[in-house]
Structure 1
């Protein structure tokens, strides 16, 4: 099939990606001008961060010295969160571009976290997208997917829908992973702690590409990932307890229609599950002889 999926499959998924979640389409549109400095802070290595002349595209750089990352100033609890990313092109083995939500600025031991991680590869090989869920510092809920396009050629949208019923990871509005709330006291579901949104680029050649067999080729540095069009349509957390959490049903992202996938999304999600999943912790019986409770949903 070559580097990416064959043309008819590509057309199928492109058509699917154009079908936005019906409620997400009703979300407030992003302002025409977005100020990075009013909404984000650089976490480290400010000299490895650049913007386009108009300030609307943001670039993070990785070299042998360091990578770079940024975070929202605001915390959220529940909502719709999206960003457009263009990943490192060429030989990106060992490089990880991350886009994630986390309840702790320092990745503390009790953090909740929702991860998109894009695992680079050698030239000519497709990217792998890894998603993960942490609850009170415990992770191990990884899934890995192939993508149906080359994420280094253009920007694509990566989104998280988070409400009290489920968490859905979207790629170009196609749901690739659904993580349900089982409603039990020992629930492994991040729904209590407000979270910041983060993006970063860093070297992970000890594990990211073929389990660490492929090392970063620093002759190709600096590596650059690109970002734009951040949209957070969610409940902004204000201590001690924001009003929007008390009345979540007034928000589109927690109305009844957002509690599950619609028919088109179910069809897309099933197709992704049959064709693009390359690792699912729920099916790793050597690692989990006893199936995690949430896998039974």
Structure 2
């Protein structure tokens, strides 16, 4: 009898894990670039090849695209193949941002490097116009040889950055501790490529070598499964509209998505232990007093 009970427990557990994953993966198939996005600047630096978009940086200009709509809560994903070869000095960014001086922003910034060095990804969050929450990882694969998916998942409880569905960062709602959480500003989705050789590679020591240009990032698999917000509507009304209530249920508000599951927590710990190379929480030079959210996120200073 005991064996049967444990088998059924395992069945129900794996079912709930499956449901959690399928919720996390979202329910909308990916769309073509021009259904969701438009060039934001330097449209002459875009080339289209079937489902692929190529965006280039040369010594005249970078380029960028933006979503046609703004969103509140949900999940956005794009698959990117980063600049091959010597990409030192360049930054390719994928991010969400609201407008205005007190804006919120969730950033992936891919920092180019000299050939053979690991490509690093920096994440950051701005809340009410204030950033300074950088973390930096060396990826566990070469992001220039193939497409990998980069996602931002956002609900009222947490913001999760994911690489190929592996969580690399979680920012938890700590309003109960008096900290602001981004939940009342609709955000656009953006990507850009630009020259940042004043800081991007080894703190600005390695400059962009234009003889290796133009530098091209390629994109596909555009997917936005999120709550679309009319531009004319006030933030608080959008927040209400995009939150589950008695008469409407949104997938991002499912209880299973209010925090990472056990497997995702293990993945996050693995990323932090093996791939994180910088964490603002442990930077005593910049922050002599540990930032409050770091204390509650369980970062330990060594």
Q: TM-score range by the shorter chain?
A: 0.7 to 0.9
The equivalent of 1:124 in structure 2 is 116
Q: Shift in Å at residue 188 of structure 1?
A: 3.7
The equivalent of 1:4 in structure 2 is none
The equivalent of 1:6 in structure 2 is none
Match of 1:170 among 156, 162, 181: 162
Are residues 84 and 24 of structure 1, via their aligned partners in 2, closer, same or farther at CA, if it must alter by over 3 Å? farther
Q: Shift in Å at residue 169 of structure 1?
A: 0.5
Q: In structure 1, what is the Cα distance between the partners aligned to 2:196 and 2:20?
A: 34
Q: In structure 2, what is the Cα distance between the partners aligned to 1:97 and 1:20?
A: 33
The equivalent of 1:180 in structure 2 is 172
The C-alpha deviation readout for 1:206-245, integer Å capped at 9, x for no partner, is 0000000000000011100011111111111122434642
Q: In structure 2, what is the Cα distance between the partners aligned to 1:25 and 1:291?
A: 32
Q: Shift in Å at residue 25 of structure 1?
A: 5.2
The equivalent of 2:266 in structure 1 is 267
Are 2:211 and 1:219 equivalent residues in the alignment?
yes
Are residues 250 and 26 of structure 1, via their aligned partners in 2, closer, same or farther at CA, if it must alter by over 3 Å? farther
Aligned-residue CA RMSD (Å)? 1.8
Secondary structure of 2:271's aligned partner: helix
Q: Is the 8 A contact 1:23 1:257 kept in 2?
A: no
Are residues 36 and 129 of structure 1, via their aligned partners in 2, closer, same or farther at CA, if it must alter by over 3 Å? same
Query: Which residues of structure 2 form unaligned runs of 5+?
Result: 1-17, 297-302
Q: Counterparts of 1:216-295 in structure 2 under 5 Å? A: 216-238=208-230, 239-240=233-234, 241-242=237-238, 244-247=241-244, 250-295=249-294
The equivalent of 2:10 in structure 1 is none
Match of 1:141 among 130, 133, 148: 133
Are residues 119 and 20 of structure 1, via their aligned partners in 2, closer, same or farther at CA, if it must alter by over 3 Å? farther
Are 2:54 and 1:59 equivalent residues in the alignment?
yes
State the TM-score, normalizing by the size of structure 2. 0.86
Q: Is the 8 A contact 1:21 1:173 kept in 2?
A: no
Q: In structure 1, what is the Cα distance between the partners aligned to 2:90 and 2:180?
A: 29
Total equivalences in the alignment: 272
Q: In structure 2, what is the Cα distance between the partners aligned to 1:21 and 1:127?
A: 31
The equivalent of 1:48 in structure 2 is 45
Task: Judge which range, 35-44 or 68-77, deviates more.
Answer: 35-44
Q: In structure 1, what is the Cα distance between the partners aligned to 2:22 and 2:253?
A: 10
Q: Counterparts of 1:65-144 in structure 2 under 5 Å? A: 65-104=60-99, 108-144=100-136
Q: Counterparts of 1:149-168 in structure 2 under 5 Å? A: 149-168=141-160
Q: In structure 1, what is the Cα distance between the partners aligned to 2:153 and 2:76?
A: 7
Q: Is the 8 A contact 1:75 1:236 kept in 2?
A: yes
The equivalent of 1:12 in structure 2 is none
The C-alpha deviation readout for 1:121-168, integer Å capped at 9, x for no partner, is 001101000000001211000000011100000000001111111111
Secondary structure of 1:22's aligned partner: helix
The C-alpha deviation readout for 1:49-73, integer Å capped at 9, x for no partner, is 1111x2x211110001100000001
Higher radius of gyration, 1 or 2: 2
